[in-house]
Structures are given as structure tokens and as C-alpha cells.
Structure 1
Amino acid sequence: MGDAVVGALVVTLVVGAAGGLLLKRLKVPAGLMIGAFVAVAVLNVSTGFAWLPSGTRTGVQIVAGAFVGCSLERSDVARLRSFVKPIVVMLVSFLILNLVLGFVLWATSPLDLVTSLMCAVPGGINDTPIVAADMGADAPAVTVMQLIRQVLGIGVFPVMIAAFDRLRTAHGHPDPGNRALASDAQRVKSKQKSIASTFAALVVATLAGLLGKATGVPGLTFTASILAVLVLKLGFDFAYIPKQVKKACQLVAGCYLGTLLTAEGLAGMVDLAVPALILVAGYTLNCFATGRLESRLFGYGRKEGMLIASPAGASDMALIMDDLGVQNTDVVIMQVVRAAFVMAFFPQIVNLICHFVGA
């Protein structure tokens, strides 16, 4: 590795870390990855000097997969039986939304099919663009669209849900309240947080991820890592990824995505205005429709149902719930299940669709 390459690597990581830490300090949601992406993208567009090794994408997918695999607890699985049907309704609604939005975006924008479908995947903003890049999609476009979804879930939907609830209450339709309130104590978290359990999770994720990559199936590196660590976690309670590792992974992921944005690619971003509006409309409609369905079929409160259908992340959901006066932790668990299920299976569904469509 020559001095110029090493220099480009160091500059890319330093610039990305500075951008990520700045936005994190400003308390921007997903600030580490977004800040690193923006900073490195600016560096690459203006100088073309940004660079990371080709294996970065695989490494990020493996570590991110390990973290997602560690997100479910044994107690979560034990409690899932009590609300399997609401989870199925939630997942089916998000899958239908993903497919409908993806094909609409494909039909109304210059985006190709795999990019359109991955733009609409309700997964993690840190994970989805990396998997999308592995599948041959336009990763910067997916990053921008996933950022819009994240902003909707964290910054817009809570205000909208609260306003809608006040409006309905003012018109004589009070929220029916919480369904089968669950306390935080019922979600028992693993106490196994040793260096050995972290090492075991990373080794298992690496082996599974490399096997997945060897198959040549796009996105299977990430999926295999999730499933392998999930088995280790739920079967042996011996898998743990510290938050510091996740944060480092977010920074590197943001840096990598930033290296993919070129001056030519930036010029094409103006074409995302219409897709962004379609995405916002689709997720808003789903929030109301699926939220209403969850309330009518399973007795959830109005705010609970809409939170279940919100595109925010599980960690964000805990804060949003507090702000809206909702205490039912079933909502958080359902969001954890959504994140794990979506990132494990939705990319493979997208891959199959693109294979059969031939796009």
C-alpha cells in the first residue's frame, strides 16, 4: 500500500470521524453515520481524494449484522407469543408498503428497480445503504431516502401522532388507552456482557458472513451474520456487541458511503425530489391505516397503533413513547422484531423480485 493510498485512507477516516462526531454533538439522529457520510461525500465530490479498502463493505455488514442479531433477548421471544398476530400485521403491512413504493418509485423516477426497492426498505439507516451497495444499488440515493424516512419517524411522526390524537379527542373520540401494559422489568436483558461473548459474536458473524458472501447472493453477508448471532444469542445467551463497536461501525459505514458519491452522482440527486415526496406520502398513509388496523383488531390505543406503524427505530421509539405518554413496551419489542426481520429477509425478497423481473 503506497503512501498516497495510506494518506487517502487516513484523511477519509479523520474527515468522516470529525463530521460524525460534530453531528452527534449537535444531537442529530443517527448523527455519527450521517455526519461521516456528508463529510466524506463533500471531500470526495470536491477533491476525489476519499478512499477506503474494497473489503470495508463486507466488514461493516458483518459487524452490523452481529449487532442486529444481539438486539433480541430471550424474554422478548418468550413474550412474542402474546402478540404474534399484531407483529404479523405490522410486518405484512411494511412488506406491502415496501413493494408498492418500490415499484412506484421505479415507474416515476430514473432509479433502477433494486435502488427503488431498497430506498423503501423500512430497515436501519446504518445498515440498509450498505446492503444496497452490496446488491448493486445506488447507495448514496438509498442513504438520502433512508435519511428522509429516519427524519419522518423521529421528527415528524411524533408531532403528527400527538396532533391527530388531540384532534380526535377534541371531537369526542378519546384514545381507548393502552393494551395489556408491560413494564420494563418484563423485558429481561442478558447479563452476559463479557469480552469473550463479544469475541464469540464477532467470530460467528464473520464465519457466517463470509459463507454468505461466498454464495454470491447479494445481501446474504448481512443476513447470514444476523441469523448466526441470533442463534448464538437466543440459544446460548453468549453474544454481546458493545455500543462503542456499533458507533465505530456507524462511522466507518458513513465514510464508506461517502466515498461512493461522486460529482456526477451529486448532480443526479435533484431527481430524488419526487421519489422523496412519494416515500413521505406512503409512510404517512401506512402510519394511519396500519395504526388503525392494529387498534381495531388487537385493542391497542390510538397512539400505540400509530407508533407500531411508525418507521422510527427501536431505540428512538423508547424516547418517542415517553414524549407521547405511552408506556406499553410491547411497542418497543415489536420495533426490535421489525428491525431484525426486515434486515434479515427484506433484501432477499428484493433480490428475488429483481431476479424474476430481470431488472
Structure 2
Amino acid sequence: MLGAYLFYRMKVPAGALIGAILFTAIFNIMTGMGTFPTAMKTVVQAIAGGFIGQRITRGDLKEMKTILGASLLMFFCMAADTFVVGFLMFRFSELDLATALVAAMPAGLSDIALISTDLGADGTLSTALQLVRTLFAIMVLPQVAFRVCARLDGEKNEMDPTRAPGYKAPEIRTWKNALITLILAEAAGIAGKLAGIPAGAMIFAVFAVAARNVKSGHAYLPKKLRLAAQCVAGTIVGVGITMQDVENIRFLLIPALILVVSLVLCNYLFGWLIHKVCGLDLATALFGAIPAGVSDMALISTEMGGDAPKVAALQLVRYVGILSLMPAAIQLLTTVLHK
């Protein structure tokens, strides 16, 4: 909480999230005592879904055809990138092919840790590289994207706040509406978690809160709740970083460098491609192309200028598609090449 507060007060974009990650990780590395209830991940995903849902209007529903094409393009770009980066790490390091491909997958850190051994990969090495990817994607890429978009769109800072995406009139911003929206989001999030769908807590919360907003326009969650959610999300990431992870990274400099360079190049290449081909605004395309956690990017995009519903759609298609199809593709490829 201290790190989140300090970075927020320093006006670092997504500072609550970044500060929580850094301070929690340092504490856990130094003491090994970092712990946090795993159930809070569901709570945070539901809140992130609620913030996305409250910004969805009837007008947004009419634009979903554009998002479908952009989402599919994003998925195929990310899938191709996984194989290219995986083979590069395999070729220029001591990693075996399965470990390199799994480490290159743009999926969740915990998900990779769970499936890596099933695919014949080294769980420790692949998780260490995923840690590098996750931290870089969350802590660096959004900052650069924010500044790039601000430079290209200098007039955005002078936009009429009543016309900003997700703006709520004062009469909507009541504690009653906030409480109803929060309860709805959490109930839907629990249902999504129990359904066993990847990122189900957030998906269900998005639809539940969006349905309320489309029907009545009264869905509302306060900014302070978003900051609290970022703090909790950062803490969850931070407690997963141990001294063993730091030591592993030291021995993986070459593949880690390949991974980081590819993240930068592909993020802006894919973002620019979606911006040009599908007509999405540049900020939304760039935030949608950052291969970090779905809920993390949803929370960041609501603060840093992207269209959160569209960013979430891009992230969800990438996340679900990669987790659903890539493990089987990697297993098939490594089996064929080892014959």
C-alpha cells in the first residue's frame, strides 16, 4: 500500500499498480514473507470488469464488428510472434525448444507456471522469463504508449471532461449506484470464477455491469476503488516474485533480452497495424497490443487514455485464444521435431 500511495502521489501513470509491485517484490525478496489471499485475484478481476462494463453504452455495442476484426488480427499476430521469438531464444541460448516456446507465450504468469511441465518445458526457466515479460509489459510499455499518444495527440489534455469516455454525470455518481454496481460485479465475478472460464471473473463482471449500464446508464464505480484495485493487483504480482526468480533471470540474459526487444517491436508494430487496418484509435490499439494481464491492462487503460471496453476485448481474445490453442500447437510442434 505504501508503494502504491507514493507512486500515485508522484503522478506516475498507473502508479498505484507499479508502486505496489515494486515495494511488495522488494519485501518478498528480502524476507521471503510476502503472502496475499489468492481469492483477492477474483475480487480484483471482478472490479476491473466492473470498470470496463460501466463504460459500455449502446453506441459501443454498435462498434463491436470493428473490434472482432481487430481482435482476430491481434490473436494471429501474437501467435506468429510466439513461434518467431521462441525459435530465436532456442537458437541463440541454451534453452530447449519447448521451454523457449512456452516462455514466449503472451499469457498469464500463473497460467504458464501451471502448464509448462505438461508441455515438456522447464517450469522454473519458463516462469522466470515470463516474469521478465510480465513486469516489462506492465511497468514500461504503458508508460511509453501513454507518452507516444500524448505527443501525437496534444489536444487530448484539453478535452471537455463531459465528453470523455466513461464520463458519469454528478447525479449518477452516488454511493447507492456504486454499491449496487460493485455487488453486481462481484456476484458475476464469483459466478465466472466458478464457471472455470479463463479470466471468467472479469468477463462475467463486464457483461453484468454493461447490461445495467446499457439499460439504465446508472452503472458507476468511484475512482478510489480503481486505485485500490490497482494496489491489490500489484501486490498479487509482487508476492509472486522471489529471490529464486531474480537468480534465474541472471542466467537468462540472452533470452530475456530477445524477449524484451520483441515486446517493444511487436507492441508498436501490432498496435500500428491494428490502428491502420482496423481504424481503432492509436491509444486503444497500443494498449490492446500489450501482452500483459487482462485485468491489469483494463485497469491501466481506464486511467491512461485507451478505450477500456475495446482494450479489454482485444486482450481477452488474445488471452483466451493463446491459452486455448497454443499449448496444443507447441506440443504438436515439439513432438514432430523430436521424432
Q: Which SS does the other structure have where 1:53 is aligned?
A: coil
Seen in structure 2, the aligned counterparts of structure 1 residues 134 and 339 have a Cα distance that, compared at 3 Å, is: farther
Seen in structure 2, the aligned counterparts of structure 1 residues 57 and 155 have a Cα distance that, compared at 3 Å, is: same
1:231 aligns with 2:211: yes
Gaps in structure 2 of 5+ consecutive residues = 90-94, 117-125, 154-159, 289-299, 332-339
Between the aligned residues of both structures, percent identity stands at 20
Letter matched to residue 229 of structure 1 = V
- Residues 72, 317 of structure 2: 8 Å contact kept: no
Seen in structure 2, the aligned counterparts of structure 1 residues 356 and 200 have a Cα distance that, compared at 3 Å, is: farther
Q: Which residue of 2 aligns with 1:205?
A: 185
Q: Which residue of 2 aligns with 1:44?
A: 28
CA RMSD in angstroms, aligned pairs only: 3.6
| Structure 1 residues 23-69: Cα deviation after superposition (integer angstroms, max 9, x where no partner) | 22222211111011000100000111222122121221122221122
- Residues 65, 225 of structure 1: 8 Å contact kept: yes
Moved more, 283-292 or 197-206: 283-292
Q: Which SS does the other structure have where 1:145 is aligned?
A: helix
1:341 aligns with 2:313: yes
Which of 186, 200, 222 is 2:202 aligned to? Answer: 222
Q: How does 1:85-234 map to 2 (within 5 A)?
A: 85=66, 87-109=67-89, 116-118=104-106, 138=127, 140-141=131-132, 142-156=134-148, 185=163, 189-191=167-169, 192-234=172-214
- Residues 57, 253 of structure 1: 8 Å contact kept: yes
TM-score of the aligned structures, taking structure 2 as reference length? 0.70
- Residues 140, 257 of structure 1: 8 Å contact kept: no
**Cα distance in 2, alignment partners of residues 132 and 222 from structure 1:** 19
| Structure 1 residues 74-127: Cα deviation after superposition (integer angstroms, max 9, x where no partner) | 44446x38xx54x455434333333223333444446676664335xxxxxxxx
Q: Which residue of 2 aligns with 1:274?
A: 258
**Cα distance in 2, alignment partners of residues 131 and 207 from structure 1:** 24
Letter matched to residue 226 of structure 2 = K
Seen in structure 2, the aligned counterparts of structure 1 residues 286 and 358 have a Cα distance that, compared at 3 Å, is: closer
- Residues 62, 206 of structure 1: 8 Å contact kept: yes
**Cα distance in 1, alignment partners of residues 37 and 317 from structure 2:** 27
- Residues 24, 32 of structure 1: 8 Å contact kept: yes
**Cα distance in 2, alignment partners of residues 317 and 183 from structure 1:** 14
Q: Which residue of 1 aligns with 2:6?
A: 22
Seen in structure 2, the aligned counterparts of structure 1 residues 231 and 305 have a Cα distance that, compared at 3 Å, is: closer
**Cα distance in 1, alignment partners of residues 212 and 113 from structure 2:** 27
Q: How does 1:292-307 map to 2 (within 5 A)?
A: 292-293=276-277, 306-307=282-283
Q: Which residue of 1 aligns with 2:57?
A: 73
Seen in structure 2, the aligned counterparts of structure 1 residues 196 and 306 have a Cα distance that, compared at 3 Å, is: closer
Q: Which SS does the other structure have where 1:71 is aligned?
A: coil
1:257 is displaced (CA, Å) by 1.0
1:32 aligns with 2:16: yes
- Residues 200, 238 of structure 1: 8 Å contact kept: no
**Cα distance in 2, alignment partners of residues 197 and 133 from structure 1:** 39
Q: How does 1:347-358 map to 2 (within 5 A)?
A: 347-354=319-326, 356-357=328-329
Q: Which SS does the other structure have where 1:310 is aligned?
A: helix
Q: Which residue of 1 aligns with 2:92?
A: none
Gaps in structure 1 of 5+ consecutive residues = 1-16, 120-127, 163-181, 299-303, 319-331
TM-score of the aligned structures, taking structure 1 as reference length? 0.67
1:310 aligns with 2:286: yes
**Cα distance in 2, alignment partners of residues 186 and 216 from structure 1:** 35
Letter matched to residue 233 of structure 1 = N
1:244 is displaced (CA, Å) by 0.5
**Cα distance in 2, alignment partners of residues 115 and 29 from structure 1:** 27
**Cα distance in 2, alignment partners of residues 269 and 231 from structure 1:** 44
Seen in structure 2, the aligned counterparts of structure 1 residues 51 and 157 have a Cα distance that, compared at 3 Å, is: same
Structure showing greater relative contact order (alpha-carbon pairs closer than 8 Å, 6 or more residues apart): 2
Q: Which SS does the other structure have where 1:311 is aligned?
A: helix
Q: Which SS does the other structure have where 2:33 is aligned?
A: coil
Q: Which residue of 1 aligns with 2:291?
A: none
